[in-house]
């Protein structure tokens, strides 16, 4: 049996950028998306699978705990610490690399990674997607994937808290 250790998929910004550049040099399309991913649910999984289908590799940027708090998510977010959120995402087959970022937006990370495809959920208009100009300037593609109805971290937390 082979060993399974997904923690190696959680990497630094520099390591992810080097990895992406190597893949691109081989003709592979690198896809990037980002989010808080506080409580992973089937909506996230479907979204990440759809994102991965846009290329040969998927890098997920994950907001640090401080970044999540500054976003004003409220309700005690994040519930799950950043290292745990990153590790759970890394365990998904469709996710190739996970990078934590502390900025309020992923713009610096996108600039560093230079992905071929930038993806966000359907709750974003293309004009609202941070990093769109960076990706399009080098001929890349920016997509707003269809929102997966019926799944919400906020609603999940409400249900959990009401059952206490």
Are the C-beta atoms of 59 and 32 separated by less than 8 Å?
Answer: yes
Residue 41 resides in a domain:
yes
pLDDT-wise least confident of 14-23, 129-138, 148-157: 148-157
Residue 62 resides in a domain:
yes
pTM over 0.75: yes
User: Which residue do the tokens 């590799």 mark?
Assistant: 57
Any idea what the Cα angle at residue 60 is, between residues 113 and 108, rounded to 5°?
40
Q: Per-residue pLDDT tens for 58-80? A: 999 999 999 999 887 666 778 89
Residue 4 resides in a domain:
no
pLDDT surpassing 50 at residue 146: yes
When pLDDT is averaged across residues 151-162 and rounded to a whole number, the result is 63
When pLDDT is averaged across residues 6-35 and rounded to a whole number, the result is 96
Hey, is 11 helix, strand or coil? coil
Boundaries of domain holding 146 = 9-162
The pairs formed by 78-85 with CB atoms below 8 angstroms and a separation of 24 or more are 78/36, 78/38, 79/38, 79/39, 79/157, 80/38, 80/39, 83/10, 85/36, 85/37, 85/38, 85/40
Residue 75 resides in a domain:
yes
Residue 2 resides in a domain:
no
Q: Sheet harboring 57-63: ordered strands across? A: 97-101, 57-63, 30-35, 117-121, 141-145
Residue 16 resides in a domain:
yes
CATH code of the domain containing 117: 3.40.50.620
Residue 3 resides in a domain:
no
Task: Say how many domains are in the chain.
Answer: 1
């Amino acid at each position: 049996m082979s060993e399974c250790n997904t923690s190696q998929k959680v990497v630094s910004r520099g390591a992810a950028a080097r990895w992406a550049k190597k893949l691109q040099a081989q003709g592979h399309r690198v896809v990037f998306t980002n989010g808080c991913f506080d409580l992973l649910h089937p909506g996230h999984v479907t979204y990440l699978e759809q994102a991965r289908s846009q290329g040969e590799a998927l890098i997920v940027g994950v907001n640090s705990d401080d970044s999540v708090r500054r976003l004003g998510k409220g309700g005690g977010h994040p519930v799950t610490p950043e290292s745990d959120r990153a590790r759970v995402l890394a365990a998904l087959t469709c996710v190739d690399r996970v990078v934590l970022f502390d900025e309020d937006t992923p713009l610096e990370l996108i600039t560093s990674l230079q992905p071929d495809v930038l993806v966000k959920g359907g709750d974003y208009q293309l004009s609202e997607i941070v990093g769109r100009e960076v990706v399009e300037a080098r001929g890349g593609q920016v997509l707003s994937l269809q929102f997966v109805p019926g799944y919400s971290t906020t609603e999940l937390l409400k249900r959990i808290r009401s059952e206490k």
